[in-house]
Structure 1
Amino acid sequence: MLKAENLSFSYGSFSLEDVSIEVKEGEILSLLGPNGAGKSTLLKLMFGILRPHKGEVLVDGHNVLELPVNERAKKIGFVPQKHHPAFAFRAIDFVLLGAAPEIGLFGAPTRKHRKRAYKLLRMFGLEKYAGRPYTSLSGGQMQLLLIARALMMDPRYLLLDEPINHLDLRNAILVMKKIQQLAKNGVGVVMVLHDPNMAALFSDRVSIMKDGRILQTGTPEEILRCEVLECAYETKFLVVDDPVRVVVPQVV
């Protein structure tokens, strides 16, 4: 289990207060909430990029901050919200970067690493692009490649910050289905989403945040209700169940 217990953190005027969530292997937990609610900050705390002022993050009973970098990478993979290409790596080499914690600064990928990278490219249907510059791929393909890189160390948990941001509907569904398949294969997933309908379709549980706090956590049916959404987003919603739950913002 990956568990955040009573996390508090602050910078500038923003503070995240007494936040606790947990995700099990094979489960998808989605984080919803308005911009500035603290969702990305929470993921960074859970991965150990940020150090909480109070509380701790435990992965399988071990404090994340006390784990060596290579051991942490074997337990948790992280895909950030933004990626800025620094060099036009071949797609296969970009995925191999995910093994850096194990390879070391001056090491070289082994046959085992390359075999793993090609396996991940096949998993996401990207094997034919292995030799292409990854900067030439589409938005959806790029997002799948980022996830593949995060899986190079075969982590048990995956943290995804807005994995379908800026994607068209087809590519968004493609990425979400791949994430769902990872969960079916036993990976625990925590992901930040902005679309409540995607959360309804692909999540086992949903946490909704506002002003650095978690308002409520539960199943999509428990959380995606007008009163909960209106409290978080301060706007009116219509929620329809026919045949699946659909969330529509009221514009009049």
Structure 2
Amino acid sequence: MRGLWAEEVSYSYGDFRIDGVNLKVNPGELVALIGPNGAGKSTLLKLIYGTLKPYKGRVLVDGRDIHRLSPGERAKLLGFVPQNHVPTFPFKVLDFVLLGATPELGPFGTPGKKHRGKARELLKTFGLDSYAEKPYTSLSGGQIRLLLTARALMTSPRYLLLDEPTSELDLKNALLVLQTVKKLAREGVGVLLVIHDPNLAYLFADRLVLMRDGRIIAQGKPDEVFDEMLLSEAYGIELELIDCSGETVLRPRLEV
């Protein structure tokens, strides 16, 4: 049974609850989680990856319970790009990406020519090849976002989870990341990403999942979820959809 499933997943911390969430990501599909701050998007992503454990429900990856997998098995199936990363040891940029191959190599394995070649290709994909020998702690926040995505792809995971992969990126690099993960989806990878910009989600996702207050309140094809009343209620602001050269664009309703 192929697919990444969250079945009736519930979780709580403090006064906040994720309540009975059902979500599936199919191989070859790009799914975007959208919604206001505090909706539970990042928490749900961590529950699906297995960093957090639900008190009710379960997460299955290709029919296997995520919490019954070893860390190595999980890392080979799922790639994860966190929202926050605090640089520690000043690894060279190339070596930092090679750390992504650890689940494949084991704790005492040494990257070979194949791994180094793949790491260099990934750096080239994200425009970081000229920084390969520099300490990654010298990179900007946006460049580190790109580097984290490259590292997550070292094991060629079946599913890729990204938490705000376009934060701190300029428009050019935001589009580069989204175009890259869209290409991966077309090649058969299941992609689930959290993104704050509904317009970018609309342009790139095969399916949108709208969250509010720890619940999924709508999911479907982008045209099905992009509804003025639904989105205005979710974000707590009056929004409107406009046609911009044949493309649908969401914006606040402005009174000039």
Q: For this structure pair, what is the TM-score category when the shorter chain's length is used for normalisation?
A: over 0.9
Q: Which runs of 4+ in 1 moved over 4 A?
A: none
Q: Please tell me the root mean square deviation across aligned C-alpha atoms, in Å.
A: 1.6
Contact 1:140 1:175 in 2 (8 A): no
What are structure 2's unaligned runs of at least 5 residues? none
Give the structure 2 partner of residue 168 of structure 1: 170
**How many pairs are equivalent?**
252
Partner secondary structure for residue 160 of structure 2: strand
Report which stretch shifted further, 84-93 or 7-16.
84-93
Give the structure 2 partner of residue 8 of structure 1: 10
User: Offset of 1:22 from its aligned partner?
Assistant: 0.9
Partner secondary structure for residue 216 of structure 1: strand
Give the structure 2 partner of residue 247 of structure 1: 250
Partner secondary structure for residue 90 of structure 2: coil
Partners in 1 of 2:133 and 2:229 — Cα distance? 50
Contact 1:47 1:64 in 2 (8 A): yes
Give the structure 2 partner of residue 117 of structure 1: 119
Partners in 1 of 2:10 and 2:62 — Cα distance? 21
Counterpart selection for 2:216 from 197, 214, 218: 214
Contact 1:143 1:175 in 2 (8 A): no
Q: Deviations over 1:104-131 (max 9, x none)?
A: 4444333333233223223333323211
Q: Deviations over 1:203-240 (max 9, x none)?
A: 11000000000001011111111111012111100101
Give the structure 2 partner of residue 24 of structure 1: 26
Partners in 2 of 1:140 and 1:216 — Cα distance? 31
Name the TM-score, length of structure 1 as normaliser: 0.94
Partner secondary structure for residue 177 of structure 2: helix
Give the structure 1 partner of residue 155 of structure 2: 153
Q: Deviations over 1:29-66 (max 9, x none)?
A: 00011111110010101111001111111111111111
Give the structure 1 partner of residue 80 of structure 2: 78
Report which stretch shifted further, 96-105 or 173-182.
96-105
Report which stretch shifted further, 234-243 or 152-161.
234-243
Q: Deviations over 1:162-216 (max 9, x none)?
A: 0111222222222222222222222111101111110111111000000000001
Partner secondary structure for residue 146 of structure 2: helix
Partners in 2 of 1:250 and 1:28 — Cα distance? 29
Name the TM-score, length of structure 2 as normaliser: 0.93
Partner secondary structure for residue 189 of structure 1: strand
Partners in 2 of 1:151 and 1:195 — Cα distance? 23
Contact 1:140 1:172 in 2 (8 A): no
Partner secondary structure for residue 87 of structure 1: coil
Partner secondary structure for residue 124 of structure 2: helix
Partner secondary structure for residue 161 of structure 2: strand
Counterpart selection for 1:131 from 130, 133, 142: 133
Give the structure 1 partner of residue 58 of structure 2: 56
